[in-house]
Amino acid sequence: MRGPHNILRLIRTGATFERTGAMGVALDAVEAPPRLRLAARVLGWPFRWLGYRGDPALPPVTRAITALGPAYIKFGQILSTRADVVGTELADQLRMLQDRLPAFPTDIAKQIVEADLRQPVDVLFSEFSEPVAAASIAQVHRARVRETGREVAVKVLRPGIAAAFRRDIDAFHFAARIIEALSPGSRRLRPRDVVSHFESVVTGEQDMRLEAAAASEFYENTREDANFQLPLPHWHLSSRRVLTSDWAEGLPMGDRQALIAAGHDTTQIATRVIQLFLQHALRDGFFHADMHHGNLKVAPNGDVIAYDFGIMGEIDEYTRRVYAEILMGFIRRDYRRVARVHFEAGYVPRDRDEAAFARALRAVGEPIFGADASRISMANLLGYLFEVTERFGMRTQTQLILLQRTMVVVEGVARSVDPQLNIWDAAKPVVSDYIKSNLGPRALASDMAKVAQTVGRYGPLLPRIVERALWDRAHPDEALPAQPDRRALPLWLVTVLSLAAGAAVGLGLG
């Protein structure tokens, strides 16, 4: 990584915010303390002339973010869903980052389509519109397949986007190393791992074939979900830089007034958004991890439509169970159980006081219950939660980064549709059903079967493993002689013994 280049990039970030007038707006929006305001001004003002000018027609913060590039735009997209953190006015300004960024020329998009699909656009499509949406990674054109007459969305990767992201990610890695060097206490938050995780996510987002595969898998998981739709990819019209999928017709999720005018129940829609995310995360372990307003619509019949599957999250079964127990503990206000789960999962060092941790969690959770949603400050809540994690030495769980980030975004989207939504009431049915299915007797029987299957699969190796262990104990200085295969137990006998051993292990765990 190039040190001087990265230093210049970080200085230019502060300088751009200063030059565009975004610095003061951003600091006011997050209610920054005096020390942070002073540090930002001292670092930004002397280098103001190095900052990017941006588009003067845009509001200051949006102007600065768009000038700095795609990685910053991604961060701005997250903030656009958090009116409770940055204020309604700034959130509305940032919402354009979701799908209303400056587009690149249609002629260039057609050249990319022709180069990747190896046929002229006019041969493939009878109609091909100007860009209808443009985001940080790609832009979308509305088209009609000549062969079938089907209306589709053609998503085309921005030219030069890979190099732009590499430049930003390079600077982020450098900043993470500097932060860890200057503040040893920050290492528990694992800033370098966080940046690496972000890098892997955006790198995968730049291959449209992976997005098509994610859409296909997501559809297989969710095809029976009520009130949910997603557009399917057209594989023969897709490539690394081009993705063609069904056209999704509906009202933008971010236009609350239009939803009300169309007669939709905004409370039901907001609740459904929360529940769909939790269903996919807990039930499937595979979820849409970029569920901002720009990637969601509401169909005429009220169904939630999700699209743009460039960023998908995946969590293993054990982590899903831990996450569900933590959520359920908060829903039931059982803070001792929430604390115990954190300790059992290793999220909190075992030398810390579990009872004190439970009381700290109570201080986080209690203000939420029974309060009017509009009176809950997520900024204050997250700030206190950060203090708790710091006090108890919790390390950032990289496997949960995408899940936690998406949960914040999804809650922001749901609250924008229904400002009075109580997220805990919306989440309770889904989490309760998951707990019943995965933490009871049925789950124990399923776990036992999986243990037996695993042991059975490696059954043919067990005699040799046991023999090697016994030989090493009796003859520590001699190698085990090679043995012919005929000395192994018959496969059917090994399988029976393995199944019995697996059942015994399962019962022991219970």
Active site residues: 290
Which residue in 168, 167, 176 sits closest to 195, CA to CA? 176
Long-range contacts, 494-497 (Cβ 8 Å, 24+)? 494/459, 494/460, 494/462, 494/463, 495/456, 495/459, 497/459, 497/462
The answer for residues whose C-beta is within 8 angstroms of residue 332's C-beta and 6 or more apart is: none
Neighbour tally for 60: CB within 10 Å: 20
Give the DSSP H/E element, type plus range, for residue 279: none
Which residue in 130, 141, 135, 46 sits closest to 96, CA to CA? 135
Helix axis angle for 191-205 and 401-417, nearest 10°, is 70
CA distance 401 to 192: 13
Contact 101, 135 (CB under 8 A): yes
Count Cβ neighbours within 10 Å for each residue of 174-192 and write b for 16 or more, e otherwise. bbbbeebeeeeeeeebbbb
